[in-house]
Amino acid sequence: MTRLRKMMLEELQRRHYSAATIRCYTRTVEEFSRRFNCSPDRLGPRHIREYQAELFQKGKSAGTVTQHLAALRFFYVKTLKKAWSSADTPYPKKSFHLPTILSREEVACLIDAASTPFHRTLLMMLYATGLRRAELTHLKVTDIDSQRMVIHVRGGKGRKDRDVMLSPKLLDELRKHWQRLQKKPSVWLFPGRQDHCGDQPIDTKTVWHACREAAKRAGIRKNLHPHTLRHCFATHLLEAGADLRIIQTLLGHSDLEETTIYLHLSEQRLNATASPLDSLNLKDRSAQDQ
C-alpha cells in the first residue's frame, strides 16, 4: 500500500465513511492517477478539468461525474490539505430522470423467472421491503423479528437504523430459505464465501445478477436493476393508499422531498387526473373531414 493510499484510507475511516464509499473513492483516485501516469499529489486543477471532460466524452452521467469529483475533492482537501476551487472544477448540473417502474404483473413475472430458489428469495426481499442492495446483503439472522413482524435495518444509508414490515408471505419464503441452507449461518441471513476474516455476507453483485438474469428470462426489456424493485415497492404502496410519510420512513429518506418523486410515478394518480382537453366542448368535424 502506497503512502498516499494509506493516508486517504485513514482519513476516510476516521470520518466513518461506509465501505462502499471507501472503495469508490480510492478506486477513483487510482484511476485518475493512472490516466496521467503520475502520482496524484503532483496533479492539479488542469488535470481534474481534463479528466472531468473525458468522463462526459465517455458517456458518463452527471451523477457519476459528480461522484468522481467528490472523491478527488476529498483526496485533495481532506488528505493533502490543499485548497479546492469550485470555480475551477464546477460540479455538473444534474438532469432529472424518472426511474423505471414495473407493473405488479411484471414484478410477479420477474420473481417467478428467478433462476434459482436463492435468487427468488433475494428478489422477493427487495420488493417486499424496499431495501437497498447493501442493506439486503448485510441483514443478520437476528434482524428478522417474527414476533413483531418487522425487519431491523442496521446502519442503512447515512448510518441510520430503521424497521420495515415483514410480510407473512416473505416470512414463509425466508423459512424455506433457512431450510435449504446446508450450513446454518450464525450471523448473516444470506451468507457468502468464507475467507481468512471468517464468514462473509453475499456480495452486492450477486443481487444485481439475480435481478438481471430474472429480467432476461422473463423477457422484460426495461432498464432494470435491484433499485428498480425499491422504486416499485414505494410506488405500489402509494397506489395502494399508503401515506407518503410512512413510505418516507420505510425507505429511510431523510427528506420528504426525496419521496415525492413517487407522486410522479403513480399510475393511478396520473389516470385520475383528467386532461384539460377533455373539458372542451369541441364540434364533431368527422363528417366534414370525410
Task: Give the residue numbers marked as catalytic.
Answer: 132, 157, 227, 230, 253, 262
- Enclosing H/E stretch for 20: helix 19-36
All three cell numbers of 89: 472544477
Give the integer Cα–Cα distance in Å for 184 and 113: 26
Tell me phi and psi for residue 197, to 5 degrees: -90, 0
User: Please, is 71 exposed, middle or buried when counting C-beta atoms within 10 Å of its C-beta (0-12, 13-18, 19+)?
Assistant: buried
3-state SS assignment for residue 236: helix
CA dihedral of 10, 16, 21, 26, whole degrees rounded to 10: 0
Give the integer Cα–Cα distance in Å for 233 and 285: 45
All three cell numbers of 65: 461525474
CA dihedral of 262, 265, 271, 277, whole degrees rounded to 10: 110
DSSP 197: T
